[in-house]
Amino acid sequence: MSKLTGKTAIVTGGGSGIGRAIATTFASEGARVAIFDLDEDASEEAVQSIADSGGEALFQSCDVSDAGSVEKAVAKTLESFGRIDVLVNNAGVANIGTATNTTEEDFDRVMRVNVKGVFQVLRAVLPKMVDAGGGVVLNMSSVAAITGLKDRFAYSASKGAVHTMTFSIASDYLEDGIRCNAICPARVHTPFVDGYLEKNYPDTKEEMFEKLSKVQPIGRMCKPEEVAGLALFLCGEDSAYITGQAYEIDGGYMKLR
C-alpha cells in the first residue's frame, strides 16, 4: 500500500514549483490531490500529468487571500473527494527589498498572500479536519524565518509569521488529532529562480546561477522533488509522533556556513 492511499490532500500553489512537486508526489503515493492555485494553465497541466501517471487530482481556482474564494474551493473539494486529510500551505509570493526600500504596496501584497492566505485556508479547513477526527497540516516556512537574509525584509517577516503559526496550530489542535509541522527550505531551483535571473541578470545568468547555488554549503540548490520527499514523510503515518516541528532542508546553510 502506498503511503497516502485513501487520503485527500489540498496543496495550495500546487500548479508549479515546489507545490507541483508535492502534489505529484502525493498523488503517486495514493492521495487524491486538490490543487488550489490561480494559474489555470499550469494547474491543469499538473492535473493532466498526474492523471497520465495513474493518479487522481483536481484543480480549484483559488485566491488564498480571499475568504470566499477559499471557502468555495474547499466546498468543491469536499464535494468531489468527501474529506480532507492533509493540507499543505505552500502558496506564496516573494519580494526583494529592505525596510526602507520596500513599498507599502509590496509589503501589503506579501502579507496578504503569505500570511493572510495561510490564515484563510486554515480557518476553512481545520473545522473539517476536526469533524473528521484529525488530519495533518504542513506549512511552507523558509530559512528566511529563522536567520537574517539580506534584502528579504517583507518576505522574511511573512515567513516568520507562518513559522510561528505552525506552533500555534500544533498546540491548539493537538487534542483534535491534528498534527502541524513546517518545512524551511533554503534556495530551491524553481521557475521563480529562473525568472529572477532572466529579469535581473540577463547577460550573466549562468554565472549568477552558479553563485547562488554555492551559497548552500552542499554546492547546489535544492530540487523541488527533494522538498516533496520531506513533505511526504511529514504528512504520512511514518511521522505520526511528530508535531510542532520545523525542518530545515538547506544543504547545510543554517549549520555549516
Residues taking part in catalysis: 155
Query: What does the block give as the cell for 43?
Result: 494547474
Given its phi and psi angles, is residue 190 left (phi above 0), alpha (psi -120 to 50 degrees) or beta?
A: beta
Among left, alpha and beta (phi > 0; psi -120 to 50; other), residue 150 is beta
From the list 86, 77, 31, the residue with the least C-alpha distance to 55 is 31
CB atoms within 10 A of CB 225: 13
The HSE-up count of residue 99 (CA atoms within 13 Å, CB side) is 2
